[in-house]
Amino acid sequence: MATGPLASKRPADYLPLEGGTEYDWRDVRGVITPRFKIYRAISRRSGNKISAEVERLGSYLGLPKVCAHMGEAIAARLGRSSDVEYAAAAILFLSCRLAKIYADHMFRGYDARRLARKVLWVQKTAGLSMPPPSPKHFMFKLAEDLNVGRDVVKNALDILRLIAPVVGRGKVAQAAAFLLSARANGYRLEPRGIADAAMISERALLEALREVNAAFRPSSRRRSRPGLS
């Protein structure tokens, strides 16, 4: 009869992301153990290098413990990866978003495209969906990095509500609203600078700006004058 962590019959896919408090498993000694602790034992026993790297990287970046704990739970849903470093970074990136903590700027040292591909792999493999960042937190961080006034953020939030039906409310749309607000307030910011600060593709930002421009451009069709045909 299997004892210890091996006695658990629940796959890792059903474990809670933030750690469980449901006491529904007993070992042969009758000791009640939370499911989250079972996950940690299974994860370490199997030699999951990604989970160990997640724990190390979360501590190194100084991320909140909820992000690290959630990241370890996500790592339990994944198989092995040849790129452990970027897999751990992608897991923590996703964990912060799920925990509604904006920490995108903490990952500036990573190659943006490589990290983005790994985040997509984590989402697909773990069956998760990454929410966009909080517009207020994201824009205030942009304002701090680009040395612009807080009034830009206030106007950008209003612009985002206006353009959301056209380009959505994701990170690219938020960056587009911030750029439009900054230019309206007299700041000479370029799309490349905004894209680099926001860690997004400049091409995606320009495409969003073109869609907004096409949606809100006044009609160029001349009105027919009375008496003319």
What the block records as the tokens of 80 is 């092995």
* 110 and 14 both lie in a single domain: yes
Indicate whether 224 belongs to any domain: no
* pLDDT classification of 4: cutoffs 50, 70, 90: very low
Beta bridge partner(s), residue 26: 32
Q: What percent of the chain has pLDDT over 90?
A: 46
* 126 and 101 both lie in a single domain: yes
* Residue 73 and residue 62 in contact, taking contact as beta carbons nearer than 8 Å: no
Q: Look up the domain containing 107 and give its range.
A: 1-131
* 117 and 145 both lie in a single domain: no
Indicate whether 219 belongs to any domain: no
* Residue 128 and residue 103 in contact, taking contact as beta carbons nearer than 8 Å: no
Domain end among 131, 156, 191: 131
* 116 and 5 both lie in a single domain: yes
User: Structure pTM?
Assistant: 0.67
Domain end among 74, 102, 131: 131
Work out the mean pLDDT of the chain and round it to a whole number: 79
The mean pLDDT value for 105-112 works out to: 88
* 109 and 155 both lie in a single domain: no
Q: Is the pLDDT of residue 34 over 80?
A: no
- What CATH number does the domain containing 143 carry? 1.10.472.10
What the block records as the tokens of 75 is 């790592």
Indicate whether 227 belongs to any domain: no
* 125 and 52 both lie in a single domain: yes
Q: Structural domain tally of the chain?
A: 2
pLDDT on residue 192:
93
Indicate whether 220 belongs to any domain: no
131-135, 178-182, 208-212: segment of lowest average pLDDT = 131-135
Provide the CB-side half-sphere exposure for 104 (13 A, CA). Answer: 26
* 106 and 154 both lie in a single domain: no
User: Hey, is 32 helix, strand or coil?
Assistant: strand
* Residue 94 and residue 37 in contact, taking contact as beta carbons nearer than 8 Å: no
* pLDDT classification of 16: cutoffs 50, 70, 90: very low
